[in-house]
Structure 1
Amino acid sequence: MKNGKISESVLKRSVLKQLHTTSDRILFKPAVGEDCAVISMQAGDQTKLVTATQTFTLDVSDKHVRANCAVYDALNNIYAMGAGPIGIELALLVPTTENEAVLRETVRAIDAVCEEAGIVVLGGHTQVSRAVKNIVVTVTAIGEACEQALTPSSAAAPGMDVIVTGYVGLEGTAILANEKRAELETRFSKAFIDKSAAYIDNISTAMEAASAIGAGVAAIHDASQGGIFGALWDMAEASGIGLDIDLKKLPIRQDTIEISEFFDINPYKLLSGGSLIIIAADGTRVLRELEKTGQNAVIVGATTDSNDRVLISGEERRFLETAQTDEIYKVFN
């Protein structure tokens, strides 16, 4: 199989179809596009436990990059579900070639990100293994939400506005600028690379999610692996809707375009932590709320009652493909 997140067909065939145990305490069963588990703790209690798990496997040297991506890739799922995080469970697989000092610095970096996010490390597991060649970080974020505030991907309906916040490909751009600096210096200035590398501190979606939920939304999905194209597909698949998306309206920074061109990758299929897809009946109202806190957001299209997920660029119309392996794995092969 290919490196990275498995394809939708493999997920459905070899993972989801193998899960047969159900529980009336679980609000949403495992499905494409639903990244959180929502659990009822006791009958009649409107407060739900929300969990989400993400694994960061890229072989990066910058511990701050690893920590930010590992923690926020999980937390952003919690924010997108309308929940407030409490803390994380942390699992570390460490190769035998690493020393204790590297482990200590890695944990210290993760703890610093948690402090910034206002959460704690609740527990976890750490193991040294010959099965890995670099540190692998798995984060399970744990939060809580009132049932009425939940914003699952499956709640999107036809005839609604599609909003994208932040900038697509931002997380991948930051990782590449931090980890592939020597290669990028053959074309770009130090100032250009430094600016792109600093985006790693802008991948939390806590503020955007809170502002949007306060304005009234149907569904939110965070864009991470597979980029904005993958996230749009997953959102549509979860809710069984179609999409009409104006490609030219998708918010993207020029340095993301230039760095993607340098590595010959598609920026719309690149790690997009820091960006949310929001589905709302009144997108303009949501934009006003986001603008109050200085958040970048654009209405990029609408949901439809067909099965077609369409990308529009001027007179050209083409179909969105099922979520693909993230482009960053072409660089970190």
Structure 2
Amino acid sequence: MKVGKLDTELLQKIVFQHITCRREEVLVRPGVGEDCAVVDFGNDACILSTDPITGTAKEVGRLAVHISCNDVASNGVEPLGLMLTIMAPEGTTAAEIEEIMRQAGKEAAKLNVEIIGGHTEITTAVNRIVVSSTAIGRQVKNKVVSTKGARVADCVLMTKTAGLEGTAIIAHEHENRLKAYMGEEMVEQAKGMMDKISVVPEGVIGGEMGVSSMHDITEGGVLGAVWEMCEASKVGVVLYKERIKIAPETVKICRFFNIDPLRLISSGCMLMTIGWEKVDGLVQSLTEKGIEVSVIGEIIREGRYLVEGNQKIEIMPPESDELYKVV
């Protein structure tokens, strides 16, 4: 199989079909585009999400906090707790483990999230450090936002710039090569994009403003996330390429490695759908908090398309992320 998360067809064939037990307390179960489970706790719902960091050997403690907290935020709720599992290969030093926890503790504190448990182990089962995180949030049950809520005629918005996380990872991993190509200043700016990978602020705002759906943009990039959102909601979409913002640093890096910024991992970017009558209010609320946002398309009944000039290109299901092509 290819490196990266399983494609949709394989996920349904060899994973989902074997999940047969159903509890009445579970409100949202595993599905394409659904990154969180939602469990009924009476008046409130418990929101849970889990993810590993495998695409980079650097900044893993930092990324591990945000990857799961971002998923919880896409349900319109602030995460409150986090559990971390660290699996490290033989030869890993105590200083390396401590650095991961230093990063994780610092980022969790910024989000007002408590690290409430986990597991740390040295093992021959991995050849580099893998960190898996599980985030937990709480929301009033009838206010939970899901990926599958997009409605025909909704406006599609995206925060920040495409390929954000991938740009930062590549800049950290290939710093010296890139400095010779694009200069030290631009490489440092690209590395600094790691500071923008939380979508908790926009997730909370989206929940307050009544978005119909949200999905944080991770593996598969903007196009992958849009396809997943539409698949979960059973709708189509028209995106306009010229409206999707891409930072100059991302453009440069993607040209250097010949990869597509619209299919590059983009934690830090949030997809939102909302009725047109609420768009201005949402944009204003995000802008007032210093969050860049763009209107990039519209939900339609069927068909998933990217419009570029006079071309209308079908958006295909996500495959292995562009990050894995970088060597």
- TM more than 0.5: yes
Alignment match, 2:310: 315
2:35 paired with 1:47: no
The structural deviation recorded for 1:291 is: 1.6
| One-letter identity of the residue aligned with 2:136 | I
Calculate percent identity across the aligned residue pairs: 29
The CA distance in 1 between the partners of 2:46 and 2:114, in whole Å, is 16
**Does the aligned pair in 1 maintain the 2:34–2:146 contact within 8 Å?**
yes
The structural deviation recorded for 1:59 is: 4.0
* CA offset digits 1:164-190 (Å, max 9, x no partner): 111110111011111110110221111
The structural deviation recorded for 1:222 is: 0.4
2:55 paired with 1:58: yes
The CA distance in 1 between the partners of 2:190 and 2:18, in whole Å, is 42
Alignment match, 2:282: 286
Q: For 1:296, which of 283, 292, 295 is the aligned residue?
A: 292
The CA distance in 1 between the partners of 2:191 and 2:182, in whole Å, is 13
The CA distance in 1 between the partners of 2:204 and 2:106, in whole Å, is 22
2:101 paired with 1:98: no
**Does the aligned pair in 2 maintain the 1:89–1:140 contact within 8 Å?**
yes
Alignment match, 2:29: 29
Q: For 2:199, which of 199, 202, 205 is the aligned residue?
A: 205
Q: How does 1:250-261 map to 2 (within 5 A)?
A: 250-261=244-255
* CA offset digits 1:95-133 (Å, max 9, x no partner): 012122211221222111111111111111112111111
| Number of residue pairs aligned between Structure 1 and Structure 2 | 325
| One-letter identity of the residue aligned with 1:106 | I
The CA distance in 2 between the partners of 1:285 and 1:189, in whole Å, is 40
| One-letter identity of the residue aligned with 2:92 | E
The CA distance in 2 between the partners of 1:104 and 1:80, in whole Å, is 30
* CA offset digits 1:221-244 (Å, max 9, x no partner): 100111111100110000000001
The CA distance in 2 between the partners of 1:294 and 1:114, in whole Å, is 21
CA RMSD of aligned residues (A): 1.1
Unaligned ranges ≥5, structure 1:
none
Q: How does 1:156-171 map to 2 (within 5 A)?
A: 156-171=150-165
Alignment match, 2:184: 190
| One-letter identity of the residue aligned with 2:115 | V
**Does the aligned pair in 1 maintain the 2:40–2:141 contact within 8 Å?**
no
**Does the aligned pair in 2 maintain the 1:59–1:134 contact within 8 Å?**
no
The CA distance in 1 between the partners of 2:287 and 2:102, in whole Å, is 34
Q: For 1:122, which of 113, 116, 125 is the aligned residue?
A: 116
* CA offset digits 1:280-331 (Å, max 9, x no partner): 013233212212212111111110111x101111210010010111111112
**Does the aligned pair in 1 maintain the 2:167–2:250 contact within 8 Å?**
yes
Q: How does 1:135-150 map to 2 (within 5 A)?
A: 135-150=129-144
The structural deviation recorded for 1:58 is: 2.7
**Does the aligned pair in 2 maintain the 1:59–1:135 contact within 8 Å?**
no
Moved over 6 A (4+): none
**Does the aligned pair in 2 maintain the 1:40–1:48 contact within 8 Å?**
yes
The structural deviation recorded for 1:32 is: 0.3
| One-letter identity of the residue aligned with 2:185 | A
**Does the aligned pair in 1 maintain the 2:56–2:169 contact within 8 Å?**
no
**Does the aligned pair in 2 maintain the 1:224–1:272 contact within 8 Å?**
yes
The CA distance in 2 between the partners of 1:271 and 1:59, in whole Å, is 12
The structural deviation recorded for 1:86 is: 1.2
| One-letter identity of the residue aligned with 2:289 | T
The CA distance in 2 between the partners of 1:101 and 1:294, in whole Å, is 36
The structural deviation recorded for 1:156 is: 1.0
SS at match of 1:303: strand
* CA offset digits 1:225-272 (Å, max 9, x no partner): 111111001100000000011111111111101101101111111110
Alignment match, 1:236: 230
* Superposition TM-score, scaled by structure 2 size: 0.97
The CA distance in 1 between the partners of 2:210 and 2:77, in whole Å, is 14
